[in-house]
Amino acid sequence: MDDTEVRRLAREVFAPLAAAGVPGRVNRPLVRALGDSGLLGRLFPTPLGGTGGDGVSATELCRLRETLARECTEAETALALQGLGTYPVVQSGSPELGRRVVPAVARGEAVAAFALSEPGAGTDAAALTLAAEPDGAGWRLSGEKTWISNAPDADVYTVFARTSPEGGARGVTAFVVDGGAAGLSGEPIEMLAPHAIGRLVFDGLAVGPDDVLGEVGGGFRVAMRTLDLFRPSVGAFAVGMAEAAIDRAVAHARERRAFGRTIGDFQAVSHTLADMATRTQAARLLVYEAARAYDEDRAPDVTRLAAMAKLYATETAQFVVDAAVQILGARALVAGHPLEHLYREVRAPRIYEGTSEIQRTIIARALLRPAPEGP
């Protein structure tokens, strides 16, 4: 399926389903349509019930997210969250756990979520306090997660909890948790852009050794492996939104007349459009370079380039959407206008999966790391 067909599906199939959904809650018809279209299956390895061979490449993930975002941000986000919530199972779960979880997610029949953030541990992911207390061969989870996409409606969660009192990244373990498990409750959180996002409360929820992803105490590595794959694709989402904003601004500048000529003839507008397009193209190139670095396993470049891609692309999208609103004027802020929608959507990517400030810290640490000694 090429990009033209993906954009057609986004316009003709996914966008009407998105518009019919309940704001702030999981849109299951939309998720199922993504599964029926075959797009979700492309994210996951064929042996685990997907159609993606050995699994999605970062480049393919970026291409899907960029293309969908240009036409329907809700479809883009629904697809991305299915991947984010499930990829810890793909990368670090046992084959049995993968076969238990992935097929229904790939078909769009089950909704997945990635439960990392807590009230006191968002940006500082190593400061997790959700407790996993030993209970026979397993553990009991007690505590809270918040700002969790697809909560409280998800069918399956990847949950990161502290199995050891040792601080920092050590002692955190990743678990798979069923959305209907006893001891799990939650509530939605109303946001500026009405996404499905919420709070989860764990009250002695039981998990066993078969629910562990990776090694006990190795949960932080599980989270970072997943984020290294998905951070460049957040940049691709931002690029898609920027491209959509440029499309609207260019069309308006060609048609809108003022003082006897189209507003695109005014240097203030035309130079703004030039800056919008140039910065978006630069962001796109950086996103796909980061994706290639991941696909080619170019450590230690992967983490640095992923941080650069997410930082620059999301900051650029904020600038581009704001500039497009300025070009269109008040009409762009009328409820329901595509740019009004993008104006609300574009703010969150600078925060989730690591804030812009955290991305700068990651980049600076990579630059300041001692150079390897020569021969």
Catalytic residues: 353
How many other C-beta atoms lie within 10 A of the C-beta of residue 119? Answer: 12
Nearest to 67 by CA among 7, 148, 2: 7
Distance CA 311, CA 294 (A): 17
> Nearest to residue 77, comparing CAs of 170, 10, 174, 144?
10
> Rounded to the nearest 10 degrees, what angle do helices 301-328 and 338-345 cross at?
140
Alpha-carbon distance of 272 to 23, in angstroms, equals 33
Distance between CA atoms of 58 and 247, rounded to whole angstroms? 26
Amino acid in position 45: P
DSSP string covering 199-245, please?
A: EEEEEEEEE-GGGEESSTTBHHHHHHHHHHHHHHHHHHHHHHHHHHH
Please state whether the peptide bond connecting residue 45 to the residue before it is cis, i.e. omega within 30 degrees of 0: no
Helices 73-92 & 58-69 angle (0-180, nearest 10):
160
Which amino acid is located at 153 in the chain?
D
Q: DSSP for 57-83?
A: -HHHHHHHHHHHHTT-HHHHHHHHHHH
Does residue 179 sit in helix, strand or coil?
coil
What the block records as the tokens of 168 is 């920092």
